[in-house]
Every structure is written in C-alpha cells, then in structure tokens.
Amino acid sequence: MIDGVIEHKKQKGKSLRLFKEVYIYFLSYFINAGLSFLTVSVLTHYLTTYDYGIINLYSSFLIFLMPFVSGGIMFPISVEYFKRTPEQYKIFFTNAQVIPIISLFLFTLLCFIFQHPLGQLLKVSAVWIWIMPLSVWWIMINEAVMMICRSRSKATLFLLFSVGKNVAEILLTIGLVIGLHWAWQGRLLSAAVAPTLLGIFCIYLFYRWHLIADSINKSVIRKIVLSSLPFIFERLAIFVLGYSDKYFIDRFDSKGTDEVGLYGLGSQIASIIYMVIISLNSAYYPHIFKTLAGGLKNKFDRTTGWYIGGLAITIGAIFIAIPLLFRFFIGGKFQDAQPYAYLLSAGYFMWGVYNALLGYLLYLSKNRQIFIISLVGMVASLSLNALMVPVYGATGAAITSIVIYSLMAGMCFMYVRKYFLLQ
C-alpha cells in the first residue's frame, strides 16, 4: 500500500516535470517567434526590398552550408547522450567536434577559391563569402548547447539561452541598421556577431558540463563520420524544400532580388505556422509513440485529428490576421508580399499534415520510406520550381510549395495506410 502511494507520487512528479518542460519549450518558441516578427517589422521600415532580398539569399546559403560544415553530427550527439555513460559520452562528443573543425577549414578554403561566383550569386562582397563557414560553425555550436540543454532536461536554461541569443541579435540589428544605417550589411553582421559572442559562452559550458576529453581517437572519428553521413542528406533536404526557391526567383523572376525580398518577407510571416508545428511536435510525437506502443492498430489516434484541426484553426487565424499585420506592422515598400504570405502559409499547413502522419512511420522505423518521400520531394521541388518560376515568377515558387508538401503528405498517408492501417 505504502509502496503504491510512493510510486504514484513519483509518477505524478515525473508528469509535472514533463508538463513544465513542455510548457517552457512552448514558451521559448513563441517568444522567439514574437522577437523574430519584431525584427522583421523593424527591418521593413528601414530597408529596401533589394536589401531584404540580399539578406534572404545570404541566410539561405548559410542553411545550405550547415549540413556540410557540421558533418551531420547533431543528431548522433543527441541520441548518443542517452546511450552512453558520462565518460563515454565525453569521448564521443569531443571526437565528434573534430569533424566540423576539419569541415570549417575545408569550406573556408573553398569559399576563398569560389569567392567571385558566390559573390555574384549572393550579391555580397568577398569578405562576406570568407566568413560564411565560420558563421555557420558558431551557429552549430549554439545549437549544440540548446540540444544538450534539452537532453539534460535544463528547460529553463534552454529558454534563457535561445531567447537571449535572439535579444542580442535584435539589439545589434537596431544599433547597426537603424543607428549606423548599415542596411543589409548591418543585419548580416548582427546575425554573425550574436552567435559568435554566445558561442564563447557555449564553449565554457562544454567544459563545465565535462564534455571535453583530453585526447581524440581516429577510429572513433571514423565511426562517427559513417554514422553522421545520412544526416547530411536529411539537413540538405530542408534547404532544398524550404530555401532553394529563392535562388530560382532571383534568377528567373523579372524583378530579381527585389522580389526575393518580398517573397522572403511572406515566408517569414508564414513561418508562424512552422513555429506552431514545431511546438506541437514536441508534445505530439512522444504521445503518439506511447499510444502506438500500447497496441493501437488499424486506425489513427484521435490526437492526430486534433493536431490537424488545431493547424486548420491556426491557419484560419493567420489568414484573418495577415491584412492587419501588414497594415500596422509592415513597411509600405513590402505590402506586395501579402499574396506570398497566404500561399506559403497554405504550404506550411500541408507540411503540418505531413508531420502529423510522419509520426506513424517514425514509430514503425520506416526510414527507407521516409528517405524516399524526402528524395521525391526534393527532386519534385527543384523540377517544379525550374518549370514554374520562369513562367509565373515568385508566385510559381509559392504554388510549388503547396504542391510539394501536399505530395509528401499524400505519399506519407499511403505508406501509413499500407504498413499500419491495413494490418
């Protein structure tokens, strides 16, 4: 009897801690979304659409570089935290960091070699090309700290770190863009300096958390490289599906970089849906995995319907809010971005439907099928953008996002139906 009461209290304590952590993560996502929108609002009153286009082209290329500079180590160092003893993990973590450092030197060299074509592609001078790999490396270090915070259940530190990073970036942006009138250069500089300053604190945390070993082992590094390679492709898929369209617009739309600026703004408004999806996934995936482990078969769990229904309500609210957001918060030069905000929000909704169904394939460990969906999505995205953008401009890219995410959601449903619903 007493043992039962004690066990009940322990379970209740765990549930309360889990609820608190989920709440803090939700809070951090929404605060950061608000800070991001505040930054966007400020920039649209002080930058031209061409400036904003350069910012989008440059930041998108950083996302392209991320999987190559990181070497795909982020997911393995997250998973291995729960599989190894503290001493074993310290060795694993230290050896894993060698891979990005080697990649940093390699891609810095490549940026020096190809500085002229890259400068023409991104509309920036050589110095901005040279610092790209280093900027990406510092961003990776920041993400590693936030990932370890989640693994160590340090939700409050995660909140303070992630929000603090954005606050520092906003303050630098205001000082450089508004105070010094450095236009797009000020925004790019603030995005590079903030992760660097916090990155120094990150390295201190690595030592404080006893994650840095005294030596490295080539055989361990080799194993980490092999296990990390698939995640380079997974991260690359994010770039192709969510960011490559800006380069098609810059190349084929008659308004070029100016239209990239408008499209990029519409994308950032639509990213509110993205933030909601990421927040929902934090609670939805653990719940769906637990439910499926309990023996649910031949039907969807009702929370899948709630998930999609919640997204539908959210997108309805966004559609109502978009005219108000543009009227009261967005600068006059950017008003033509409204149609992109509507279309890209619809695309994110279909991506949310895909995420709701993806949980079933993740539980069934259907990695091959998930890979096929991603590959088809990438090839279809590049092909359709190449066909649509020259004819319909940036609107063609926005329509492509709806088609591609709908295709991926449809493929995911067919696989779930085959492996789960028909069994």
184-235 pLDDT tens trace: 999 999 999 999 999 999 999 999 999 999 989 999 999 999 888 878 887 8
Its pTM stands at: 0.90
- Count CB neighbours of 278 within 10 A: 16
Could you tell me if residue 12 is inside a domain? yes
The pLDDT value given to residue 277: 87
Please, which pLDDT band fits residue 5 given cuts at 50, 70 and 90? very low
173 and 297 in a single domain? The answer is: no
275 vs 352: CA distance, rounded Å: 10
Same domain, yes or no: 256 and 361: yes
37: in domain: yes
Could you tell me if 307 and 282 are in contact, meaning their C-beta atoms sit under 8 angstroms apart? no
For residue 287, give its domain range: 244-423
User: Which of 87, 100, 299, 103 is CA-nearest to residue 209?
Assistant: 87
Query: Which 3 state secondary structure label does DSSP give 1?
Result: coil
Using the 3D structure, point to which of 171, 189, 224 is the last residue of a domain: 224
Rounded to whole angstroms, the Cα distance separating 197 from 203 reads 11
Looking at the fold, whether 50 and 190 belong to one and the same domain comes out as: yes
- Between 385 and 1, the higher pLDDT residue: 385
Do 266 and 124 share a structural domain? no
Predicted pLDDT at 81? 85
Three-state DSSP class for 254? Answer: coil
Q: For the chain, what is the radius of gyration of the CA atoms? A: 22
10-29: buried (b, 16+ CB within 10 Å) or exposed (e) per residue?
A: eeeeeeeeeeebeebbbebb
Look at 78 and 305; give whichever has higher pLDDT: 305
Q: Tell me, what's the pLDDT at 413?
A: 94
The domain boundary residue, chosen from 195, 224, 253: 224
pLDDT exceeds cutoff 50 at 309? yes
Residue 3 structure tokens: 């043992």
In a domain, 236, yes or no: no
Residue 26, pLDDT > 80, answer: no
Do 219 and 248 sit in the same domain of this protein?
no
CA dist., res. 344 & res. 280, Å (int): 19
Same domain? For 252 and 214 the reply is no
Distance of alpha carbon 264 from alpha carbon 59, whole angstroms:
11
On whether both 180 and 283 belong to a single domain, the answer is: no
Terminal-to-terminal C-alpha distance of the chain = 41
| Two tokens, residue 120 | 């023409």
pLDDT at residue number 2: 56
**Residue 184 lies inside a defined structural domain of this protein:** yes
Q: Of 36-45, 282-291, 347-356, where does the model show the most confidence?
A: 347-356
Examine residue 238 and state whether it is found in any structural domain, yes or no: no
Helices of type H across 47-85: 49-70, 74-79
Q: Percentage of residues in the chain with pLDDT exceeding 90?
A: 66
Whether residue 64 has pLDDT greater than 60: yes
pLDDT at 19: 65
Among the candidates 196, 224, 252, a domain finishes at 224
CB 356 within 8 A of CB 304: yes
Is residue 420 within 8 Å of residue 365, measured between CB atoms? Answer: no
* Number of domain units in the chain: 2
The single residue listed with the structure tokens 């890219």 is 397
322/343 Cα distance (integer angstroms):
12
User: Does any domain span residue 234?
Assistant: no
Residue where the block lists tokens 């061409």: 50
Compute the distance between CA of residue 352 and CA of residue 311 in angstroms, rounded to an integer.
Answer: 7
Q: Looking at residue 8, what is its pLDDT? A: 46
5 and 125 inside one domain: yes
Residues 327 and 274 grouped into a single domain: yes
Structure tokens at 88: 């074993």
Q: What is the pLDDT of residue 329?
A: 95
27 belongs to a structural domain: yes
Q: Residue for token digits 């308004």?
A: 255
Q: Is 391 helix (H, G, I), strand (E, B) or coil?
A: helix
Q: Are residues 203 and 262 in the same domain?
A: no
- In this structure, the answer to whether residues 209 and 132 fall within a common structural domain is yes
Side-chain half-sphere of 49: how many Cα atoms within 13 Å?
Answer: 21
Shared domain for 182 and 277, answered yes or no, is no
Output the CA angle 391-397-403, nearest 5 degrees: 110
Q: Tell whether 345 is covered by a domain.
A: yes
